[in-house]
Amino acid sequence: MRLLVLGAGAVGGYFSGHLAAAGVDVTFLVRERRARQLAEQGLRILDPKGDLAIAAPKLLVAGRSAPPEPPFFDVVLLTCKAYDLDDAMEAIAPHLGPETAILPLLNGMAHLDRLDARFGTHRVLGGFCQVAATLTPSGEIRHLNDIHRIVFGERDGTRGPRVSALAELMSRAPFQSRASDDILLEMWEKWVMLASLAGMTCLMRGSVGDIVAADEGRRFTEQLLAECATIAGAAGYPPRPQALEQSRTILTTPGSTFTASMLRDIERGGPTEGDHVLGDLVARAAAFGVEAPLLRVAACHLQVYERRRGRS
Residues of the chain with pLDDT > 90: what percent?
Answer: 89
Give the domain extent around 285: 185-311
**Whether 35 and 74 share a structural domain:** yes
Alpha helices in 126-279 (DSSP H): 161-170, 183-204, 208-213, 217-234, 241-251, 261-267, 274
Q: Which of 142, 161, 181 is the last residue of a domain?
A: 181
Q: How far apart are CA 18 and CA 230, in angstroms?
A: 37
pLDDT at 146 over 90: no
Beta strands 52-54 and 43-46, pairing class: antiparallel
Compute the 3-state secondary structure of the chain and give helix, strand, coil in percent, each to the nearest 5. Answer: 50, 20, 30
Average pLDDT rounded to a whole number, residues 138-159: 92
What is the DSSP secondary structure assignment for residue 102, as one 8-state letter? Answer: E
Q: How far apart are CA 142 and CA 134, in angstroms?
A: 5
Closest CA to 135 of 13, 260, 257, 266: 13
**Whether 221 and 203 share a structural domain:** yes
Active-site residue identified among 49, 58, 81, 190: 190
**Whether 158 and 190 share a structural domain:** no
| Per-residue pLDDT, 50 | 87
Mapping DSSP onto H, E and C, the string for 118-164 reads: HHCHHHECEEEEEEEEEECCCCCEEEEEEEEEEEEECCCCCCCHHHH
Question: What is the pTM (predicted TM-score) of this model?
Answer: 0.93
**Whether 98 and 199 share a structural domain:** no
**Whether 189 and 215 share a structural domain:** yes
**Whether 174 and 225 share a structural domain:** no
Beta strands 75-78 and 2-6, pairing class: parallel
Q: How far apart are CA 167 and CA 180, in angstroms?
A: 10
| Per-residue pLDDT, 175 | 94
**Whether 169 and 196 share a structural domain:** no
**Whether 154 and 27 share a structural domain:** yes
Q: Which of 131, 149, 181 is the last residue of a domain?
A: 181
| Per-residue pLDDT, 157 | 93
Task: Work out the burial of residue 2: count CB atoms within 10 Å of its CB; fewer than 13 is exposed, 13-18 middle, 19 or more buried.
Answer: middle
Cβ–Cβ under 8 Å, residues 34 and 63 = no
CA dihedral 182, 169, 39, 5 (to 10 degrees): -30
Average pLDDT rounded to a whole number, residues 32-37: 93
What is the pLDDT of the chain when averaged over all its residues? 94
| Per-residue pLDDT, 63 | 82
Q: How far apart are CA 58 and CA 4, in angstroms?
A: 10
Q: How many domains does the structure of the chain reveal?
A: 2
Domain harbouring 129, CATH code = 3.40.50.720
Q: How far apart are CA 215 and CA 260, in angstroms?
A: 21
Query: Catalytic site residue 58?
Result: no
Cβ–Cβ under 8 Å, residues 279 and 91 = no
- pLDDT tens per residue across span 201-225: 999 999 999 999 999 999 999 999 9
Cis peptide before 71 (omega within 30 of 0): yes
What is the DSSP secondary structure assignment for residue 83, as one 8-state letter? Answer: G
pLDDT at 8 over 80: yes
Average pLDDT rounded to a whole number, residues 114-134: 94
What is the pLDDT confidence band of residue 152, given thresholds at 50, 70 and 90? very high
pLDDT at 69 over 80: no
- pLDDT tens per residue across span 224-270: 999 999 999 999 999 999 999 999 999 999 999 999 999 999 999 99
Question: Which residue(s) pair with 175 in the sheet?
Answer: none
What is the pLDDT confidence band of residue 66, given thresholds at 50, 70 and 90? confident
| Per-residue pLDDT, 54 | 95
Cβ–Cβ under 8 Å, residues 166 and 100 = no
Average pLDDT rounded to a whole number, residues 7-22: 94
Q: How far apart are CA 94 and CA 72, in angstroms?
A: 10
Alpha helices in 7-84 (DSSP H): 10-21, 32-41
**Whether 199 and 174 share a structural domain:** no
Q: How far apart are CA 164 and CA 162, in angstroms?
A: 5
Question: Which residue(s) pair with 58 in the sheet?
Answer: 27
